Structure 1
Amino acid sequence: MITVAAVDLGASSGRVMTGRVGSGRLDLQEVHRFWNGPIRLGSTLHWDVLGLYRETLAGLASVGSVHGIGIDSWAVDYGLLDSAGRLLGNPVHYRDERTSGVVLPDISADELYAITGLQHLPFNTIYQLLAEGPQIKRASTLLMIPDLLNFWLTGYIGAEITNASTTQLYDIRARTWSTDLAQRVGLPAGLLPPLHEPGTVVGSHDGTPVIAVGSHDTASSVVAVPAADERFAYISSGTWSLVGLELDKPVLTAEAQAANFTNEGGVDGRIRFLRNVMGLWILQECLREWGTTDLPGLLREAADVPPYGVLIDPDDPAFLAPGNMPSRIAEWCRRAGVAPPQGPAATTRCILESLALAYRRTLAKAQRIADQPVDVLHVIGGGSQNELLCQLTADACGLPVLAGPVEASALGNVLVQARALGAPLAGLDEMRALVRSTHELRRYQPRDTPADWAAAEARVYGSVTE
């Protein structure tokens, strides 16, 4: 039996889990959970990365003796170190507005996509670095959040490729940093640390090996997709929804760029061809504004709201920053010339149907652009517990949905560690087979006719994805 500690940091909470892998066994036990989220200092949103490290240490102290430690987190954000390895300020949150209006010098969007394969998002790491101002000249090393915590645990400086691939400074075909791109946009020489693959032992903490996993939490989540063959799509559903396919090579066509699809590195050299959809962040912010934690009760009420009523585009930039989300939804509706939803239940139904519609549109484009048909859609992560959203997703996409596992990112973290420590898990097929045999999945069959959702799509977007 191999026992490891999986540190899984999400955009709203973090947890330290104990994972056990053996013959026909894969299980998790939560040991320590803690809050995570933006902290405003003056006009800037930050992460409390020192608090995350403190809570990580507290969790590791609680797990007892384990064979390995692995850390995964969200993407794009980072810490900057000076030449002595000291942190230059608390990392800035990707939802901060500092990148508004930042333009890359001397490189076209076409060339940038041809190198990195990433969708344009205003908070991608490359834009954040250009918004740093004079501080960037003091920086010696950039470390993504999991790499920063690994450095504090072990003293090792390096970058794991799945998170590095989200920076828009990584050459997705060559599988290395694009140092030429970094120099052209004016970043300091040597800022980008050496790269390593998932499964690399990067050092030790109190005598326990620290293992680089798929450190982008979505990369770890995709490892734990319980797919039985290659004709699958996935939605890693949480604060964000990552909707996409797993491919052998990147798709860097003009059509992929125009549709704003991203090509990110995955475990075992795979490509995560996906698009970010805003996700349950919108509903989370509504719950905060309404002052309620009774999501189950709200979902029951939302299930009784008539379908196809009020729909929004969840990817509108108006929904990116923290704030009064019900008011923003109402304002979006007024701009679109439709009556806004009335009350929490109707607003919740609006959000979930709108997400399902965005998934439908994104998945149809992904299949066409990558020329990879899909027979089943896997919903993993926290959103897999939202029965209404899963059923609406099956209805909108016209595909059976298999929901689960909930803790996909932690499971993927555990599986990569276990293989590095000698577990007989030769590849992703074996890892996924173990997930299927040890975790219960819930199946949702499509109920509606495609015409219902086609009409809704035309109403919101003005066109229907074929």
Structure 2
Amino acid sequence: MAHTEAKPKTEARVPKDTRALVAVDLGAESCRVSLLRWVDGVPQHTLVHRIANGPVQREDGLHWPLEQIVQGMEEGLRKAAELVPEGIRSIAVDGWAVDYVRLDRKGEPLAEPFCYRDPRNEAAERALHAKLSPLRMREITGIQQMPLNTLYQLYADKLAGLPPQRWLNLPEYLLARWGAEPVAEFTNATHTQLVETHSHQWSREIFRDAGLSIECAPRIVPPGTLLGKLHGPLASLSAYADTELIAPACHDTASAIAGIAAGGDDWAYISSGTWSLVGALTLEAVNGPTARAENFTNLGGVGGTNCFHKNVNGMWLLKQCQDAWAQQGYTPHIAELLAAAEREPAPAVLLDVDDPDLMRMGEMPRRINRQLAARGAATLPETPESAAPLTSLILHSLAARYAQVLRVVAEETGKDLRRVFIVGGGCQNQLLNRLTAQATGMQVCCGSPESSTLGNFAVQFATLEGEASASSLAFRDEVYHWASRLA
């Protein structure tokens, strides 16, 4: 059965400088500003500000509302400043991967960034594969083949006739906007499908063969890199008089895994939210024939580690169903949906949750029925009356998929996996946790729903308090210590 993992024993270290830290987390559904303070030698982290987020349809495609995100996060930073007479020592930003901001010569955005779900990426993927072998790209990068990867987005820009421009992924863009050196943090850079596994640098071969400008790509730095002091209007606030800007693990998944306070080598992870990232931490990329055939990825990790996992569709499926039901006037709380789903019998036929059709926005009940019909299974009414059986179907299908993926993870890594840590918002879904325990036969340990924030803070402390090189395993140990301290 699922349980909350006992907090590991760790020495009660207090940082030399006890000013507050700020973590900014950019999510595809909400963006957050969190504050960590030391009160009587005890760390206390609180959510200061949250704004809703989501892609918006413009005339030329699906975009992210960049200025809305920036203004919301800066409002959160101002709120944080009001709460801390001791001042703020550092700020770090993590977020979802692959999307980027195209910049002019002054570093100003040329347009709102496209969303990774925009269909232009699928056309770009097909066009690029006609001239560049996906197998060769996989050999070079070890990254899963998905049309949302930055490579295909940059190629879509090229197909649209946009001239080469400097670009930054969104977390690094925010940091640069606030005064940091413009960089590509390593964990985020790996998800572009443009980084070599052996050198940890941009692949000149892929840039060349895709006809993209490597000169427009920023310098790659490891998580835990100091990027300069906060500048601009925010720096006029007394709390930000001497605030460092830090590149944490800018990819929120890598940050969430850094926030898992687990020792030993017998554990896997599921970072559960809009997506489910299912895998295990390794010391080097795993890129053999099975990993390639199963389309696993090798995401850069903290302190020279590697996150070997597979993207599995996640709570996006249920959220899209909820949006469809809301259009019909039915807006139940998630707890109500889960309680109703738990009373349903186990479904006779499960979904392929990774069907590309189930990755698209809109009409999710209809998309699910299309798949059921294609499998010769009974369909469900596309009305709120089917909310309970449809929720049950989604959760049983996710748990079964997790089990399939974890079996491959164990085989490919040689690990004897006995525990699976579930972090992110999905860790609060006790029905899914129970189904996952049943499907995998593993002990399910519930981590933090805000594990990305904890990992963000842990990397900040390891950077500010530790002495190890950011690319060393000693740095990973320091991050683990602070994650344990903050858990």
TM-score, normalised to structure 1's length? Answer: 0.90
Shift of 1:423: 5.8
Which is worse superposed, 50-59 or 198-207? 198-207
3-state DSSP of counterpart to 2:49: strand
Residue 45 (structure 1) aligned with residue 45 (structure 2): no
Residue 54 (structure 1) aligned with residue 64 (structure 2): no
Shift of 1:26: 3.9
Distance in 1 of aligned mates of 2:37 and 2:380: 46
Residue 285 (structure 1) aligned with residue 317 (structure 2): no
Distance in 2 of aligned mates of 1:416 and 1:401: 25
List per-residue Cα deviations over 1:293-312 (Å, max 9, x = no partner): 41101101101111143421
Shift of 1:172: 1.7
Who is 1:146 aligned against?
171
Who is 2:121 aligned against?
99
Distance in 2 of aligned mates of 1:230 and 1:185: 39
CA contact (8 A) 1:377 1:400 kept: yes
The equivalent position to 1:258 in structure 2, one of 275, 278, 293, is: 293
Residue correspondences, number: 439
Distance in 2 of aligned mates of 1:21 and 1:169: 40
What amino acid sits opposite 1:335 in the alignment? A
Which is worse superposed, 142-151 or 101-110? 101-110
Distance in 1 of aligned mates of 2:89 and 2:150: 33
Distance in 1 of aligned mates of 2:247 and 2:109: 21
The equivalent position to 1:235 in structure 2, one of 253, 260, 270, is: 270
What amino acid sits opposite 1:216 in the alignment? H
- What does residue range 142-291 of structure 1 map to in structure 2 within 5 Å? 142-154=167-179, 156-205=181-230, 206=235, 207-291=242-326
Distance in 2 of aligned mates of 1:230 and 1:146: 30
Shift of 1:427: 4.0
Who is 2:443 aligned against?
400
Who is 1:390 aligned against?
433
CA contact (8 A) 2:427 2:448 kept: yes
Distance in 1 of aligned mates of 2:157 and 2:166: 14
CA contact (8 A) 1:47 1:92 kept: yes
3-state DSSP of counterpart to 1:112: helix
TM-score, normalised to structure 2's length? Answer: 0.86
Residue 7 (structure 1) aligned with residue 17 (structure 2): no
List per-residue Cα deviations over 1:151-185 (Å, max 9, x = no partner): 11115221111000000011122111112311211
Q: How has the CA–CA distance of structure 1 residues 136 and 264 changed in structure 2, closer, same or farther, with 3 Å as cutoff?
A: farther
The equivalent position to 2:99 in structure 1, one of 77, 80, 83, is: 77
Shift of 1:107: 2.8
List per-residue Cα deviations over 1:291-340 (Å, max 9, x = no partner): 21411011011011111434211100111121011111112111111012
Shift of 1:251: 1.1
Residue 413 (structure 1) aligned with residue 438 (structure 2): no
Distance in 1 of aligned mates of 2:283 and 2:257: 14
List per-residue Cα deviations over 1:2-26 (Å, max 9, x = no partner): 5210000111001000023699744
Which is worse superposed, 23-32 or 233-242? 23-32
What amino acid sits opposite 1:311 in the alignment? L
What amino acid sits opposite 1:177 in the alignment? W
What amino acid sits opposite 2:263 in the alignment? A
Distance in 2 of aligned mates of 1:258 and 1:202: 38
- What does residue range 240-389 of structure 1 map to in structure 2 within 5 Å? 240-291=275-326, 292-341=331-380, 343-389=386-432
Percent identity at matched positions? 37
Residue 112 (structure 1) aligned with residue 137 (structure 2): yes
CA contact (8 A) 2:271 2:277 kept: yes
Q: How has the CA–CA distance of structure 1 residues 416 and 39 changed in structure 2, closer, same or farther, with 3 Å as cutoff?
A: same
Which is worse superposed, 23-32 or 247-256? 23-32
3-state DSSP of counterpart to 2:435: helix
Distance in 2 of aligned mates of 1:46 and 1:427: 36
The equivalent position to 1:34 in structure 2, one of 29, 43, 51, is: 51
3-state DSSP of counterpart to 1:352: helix
3-state DSSP of counterpart to 1:173: coil
List per-residue Cα deviations over 1:240-273 (Å, max 9, x = no partner): 0000110000012121100100011111011010
Which is worse superposed, 332-341 or 275-284? 332-341
Distance in 2 of aligned mates of 1:147 and 1:195: 11
Which is worse superposed, 292-301 or 106-115? 106-115
3-state DSSP of counterpart to 2:178: helix
3-state DSSP of counterpart to 1:67: strand
Q: How has the CA–CA distance of structure 1 residues 433 and 46 changed in structure 2, closer, same or farther, with 3 Å as cutoff?
A: same
List per-residue Cα deviations over 1:74-114 (Å, max 9, x = no partner): 01111111333232211000011001232325432221111
Q: How has the CA–CA distance of structure 1 residues 135 and 108 changed in structure 2, closer, same or farther, with 3 Å as cutoff?
A: closer
CA contact (8 A) 1:309 1:350 kept: no
Distance in 2 of aligned mates of 1:431 and 1:163: 18
What amino acid sits opposite 1:78 in the alignment? Y
Distance in 2 of aligned mates of 1:370 and 1:210: 35
Who is 1:16 aligned against?
33
What amino acid sits opposite 2:358 in the alignment? F
What amino acid sits opposite 1:101 in the alignment? A
CA contact (8 A) 2:95 2:170 kept: yes
List per-residue Cα deviations over 1:422-442 (Å, max 9, x = no partner): 169954445445545654xxx
Which is worse superposed, 326-335 or 408-417? 326-335
Q: How has the CA–CA distance of structure 1 residues 438 and 216 changed in structure 2, closer, same or farther, with 3 Å as cutoff?
A: closer
Q: How has the CA–CA distance of structure 1 residues 337 and 400 changed in structure 2, closer, same or farther, with 3 Å as cutoff?
A: same
CA contact (8 A) 2:261 2:480 kept: yes
